[in-house]
Amino acid sequence: DTEVTQTPKHLVMGMTNKKSLKCEQHMGHRAMYWYKQKAKKPPELMFVYSYEKLSINESVPSRFSPECPNSSLLNLHLHALQPEDSALYLCASSQFVSEKLFFGSGTQLSVL
Amino acid sequence: EDQVTQSPEALRLQEGESSSLNCSYTVSGLRGLFWYRQDPGKGPEFLFTLYSAGEEKEKERLKATLTKKESFLHITAPKPEDSATYLCAVRIYNQGGKLIFGQGTELSVKP
């Protein structure tokens, strides 16, 4: 299994909602990542987890809250988002932080 | 400042018309250069990793090369299914899992 699975594929939420994005991999990778990508732009790093510990937080607003419950799962909790947060949210994993990344297909998020 | 620049921004080719995409970088210490392909609405798909100047990697119609200042992705006799955005990214020493991405080259191959 060489897949990174993200759910849901699409999400529409209001500015007062709370929702969560989920990511799962079964490749035994010890590093997992959240990226945000706007249309026609490259992915922007949000968070890096290494061995289930948060190792990089790229000054992301607190309305985004990551969680790594175990080595296979990564969540991104969303609360009080703004319309400008609408984007494709990508999860990725790698064997270690120095290795190539495998990306999921992403969650297309729209904030109304 | 660490920087990655891709050119051209967009490239239109006829099927069978070979060409090259460029990724130039200015970084403090290269720990790997990565090429990805991304289709609309999908996550990037890994193509190649290059670590040192002179290194080359090939996969089907694609060949990636690396010098001390830039990398090229050569596409030989492209087909319409090669149409996608090609992203270059670099990893730098002492920055953990962070990848610095270029802006991408949007490739369109017409039959």
Residue B80, burial from CB neighbour count under 10 angstroms (0-12, 13-18, 19+): exposed
Looking at the complex, report in whole angstroms how far the Cα of residue B45 sits from the nearest Cα belonging to chain A: 7
pLDDT score of A1: 62
Say yes or no for a CB contact (<8 Å) between B98 and A88. Answer: no
Residues of A in contact with B97 (CB under 8 A): 31, 33, 48, 50, 55-56, 94, 97-98
CB B58 within 8 A of CB B51: no
Residues A27-73 pLDDT 10s: 999 999 999 999 999 999 999 999 999 998 888 999 999 999 999 99
Cβ contact B34–A41 (<8 Å): no
CB B12 within 8 A of CB B19: no
Q: Which A residues, 17 through 76, put their C-beta within 8 Å of a C-beta on chain B?
A: 31, 33, 41-43, 45, 48, 50, 55-56, 58
Q: CB contact, 8 Å: B99 with chain A?
A: yes
Q: Could you tell me if B103 and A42 are in contact, meaning their C-beta atoms sit under 8 angstroms apart?
A: yes
Question: Looking at residue A2, what is its pLDDT?
Answer: 66
Whether omega for the bond prior to residue A61 falls within 30 degrees of 0, making it cis, is no
Q: What was the pLDDT predicted at B78?
A: 97
Q: Per the CB < 8 Å rule, is B99 touching A100?
A: no
Q: Which residues of B touch A29 (CB under 8 A)?
A: none
* pLDDT tens per residue, range B6-59: 999 999 999 999 999 999 999 888 889 999 999 998 999 999 999 999 999 999
Strands (DSSP E) found in chain B: 3-7, 10-14, 19-26, 30-38, 45-50, 56-59, 62-66, 70-75, 84-92, 99-101, 105-110
